[in-house]
Structure 1
């Protein structure tokens, strides 16, 4: 089974290439990606009967594929100084899947990070629960958390920004 990060890398590679269709199968797991113009479809099939789509919902879902368009996010209302810094200097940690955002490993545990926390590229910053699986999300950048953009227990979409990080 491929890890979420590996699937994200495959999506980037297919998106940047001239390949229109890509299929990968290993030990009963199957990933199939198709792109047509600005639209792309990505399907991960874990078992023959179960299909998991990796896409920024809310898009209409067909039985075998999901149309994916570039996620359009609106900047939250912030102070003008932070907006200027966000556009140029800050790195966004985004959700790699649709699921529920959790700031800690359990309700009584301390949060992984908060505004002002220092992170390295392999620091765990949160958990996104999808299909009863708890997926640890890493920072993927060295720096300082500037802002947490979602609340604990909130549903998040694929590609939705979760944290703003000032890279070092």
Structure 2
């Protein structure tokens, strides 16, 4: 696996909404952890496993394992916001129907019980309601994207 493939993997994981991914292949182990807002990887380590080669007896040496940090830690400045998470696995929709307006936008003021989105699971459309009153700071998932259980969907400023 070359550096370009690793960088593409980091970008894919950062945009997917997954908190952590571990990949182990024959000679490479990669762990990618992302921040709450899924904007950039928090810490990534690439570890090259030792490679043993059959060399003549007088020159036989092992290549040492290396750990190379690829990205630096990101400080989480979103700790003052409340995260609204997906209660189920399904497909995330911001609108009740394709020809209707979105339920909520960034900057919208929401009340407890307001519908924020719909998650379709097994042909059932489940309305996801606001758990708190506040202002939407960030929408963390793209429209018509698959979501996992407990995946962050919205950041809300309760103040």
State the TM-score, normalized to the length of structure 2. Answer: 0.55
Larger Rg: 2
Give per-residue Cα distances to partners, 1:52-89, cap 9 Å, x unaligned.
xxxxxxxxxxxxxxxxxxxx8633227xxx941x12x1
5+ residue gaps, structure 2: 1-32, 41-74
Give per-residue Cα distances to partners, 1:130-153, cap 9 Å, x unaligned.
010000001110000000000110
5+ residue gaps, structure 1: 1-71
The alpha-carbon deviation at position 108 of structure 1 amounts to 1.1
Distance of 1:83 and 1:74 partners within structure 2: 7
Within 5 A, what are the aligned runs for 1:11-160?
74-75=35-36, 76-77=38-39, 83-84=76-77, 86-87=78-79, 89-160=80-151
Distance of 2:81 and 2:34 partners within structure 1: 15
Distance of 1:145 and 1:73 partners within structure 2: 21
Which residue of structure 1 lines up, in the alignment, with residue 158 of structure 2? 167
Q: Does structure 2 retain, via aligned residues, the 8 Å contact 1:149–1:163?
A: yes
Count of paired positions: 93
Q: Does structure 1 retain, via aligned residues, the 8 Å contact 2:35–2:76?
A: no
Distance of 1:137 and 1:116 partners within structure 2: 18
